[in-house]
Amino acid sequence: MSIYQEKAKECKCCSKHVPLPTRLKEYSGILVCPTTFDNIHEYRRVWSEIGKRPPGSIRKHFSEYVQDIVEKSIDKTD
Ligand SMILES: [Zn+2]
């Protein structure tokens, strides 16, 4: 098992990625891949723009994992 395979296990979405990410980022104490990291920030941006949980038409573009992380981080700060 390579160092990248070991690290990728930290991001829950990464079992489906090909190729695996080589660098992970941290959001709210959680290690995620750059794709998830970007999506978290975009989902959060939309959420603050409209002031509530985005509707299904927007949510469908984000994985359950991304939505889950953002919802937890929003609960913490409220
Ligand atoms: Zn990932």
The 3 state secondary structure assigned to 5-73 is HHHHCCCCCHHHCCCCCCCCEEECCEEECHHHHHHHHHHHHHHHHHCCCCCHHHHCCCCHHHHHHHHHH
- Domain boundaries, position 40: 3-77
Distance 19 CA to ligand 1 centre (A): 10
Low-confidence ranges of the chain (pLDDT < 70): 15-18, 75-78
Distance 75 CA to ligand 1 centre (A): 23
Distance 21 CA to ligand 1 centre (A): 7
Q: What is the pLDDT of residues 24-46, one digit of tens each?
A: 999 989 999 999 999 999 999 99
Distance 57 CA to ligand 1 centre (A): 22
What's the pLDDT score for residue 43?
96
Q: How many domains is the chain partitioned into structurally?
A: 1
What's the pLDDT score for residue 38?
96
What's the pLDDT score for residue 8?
83
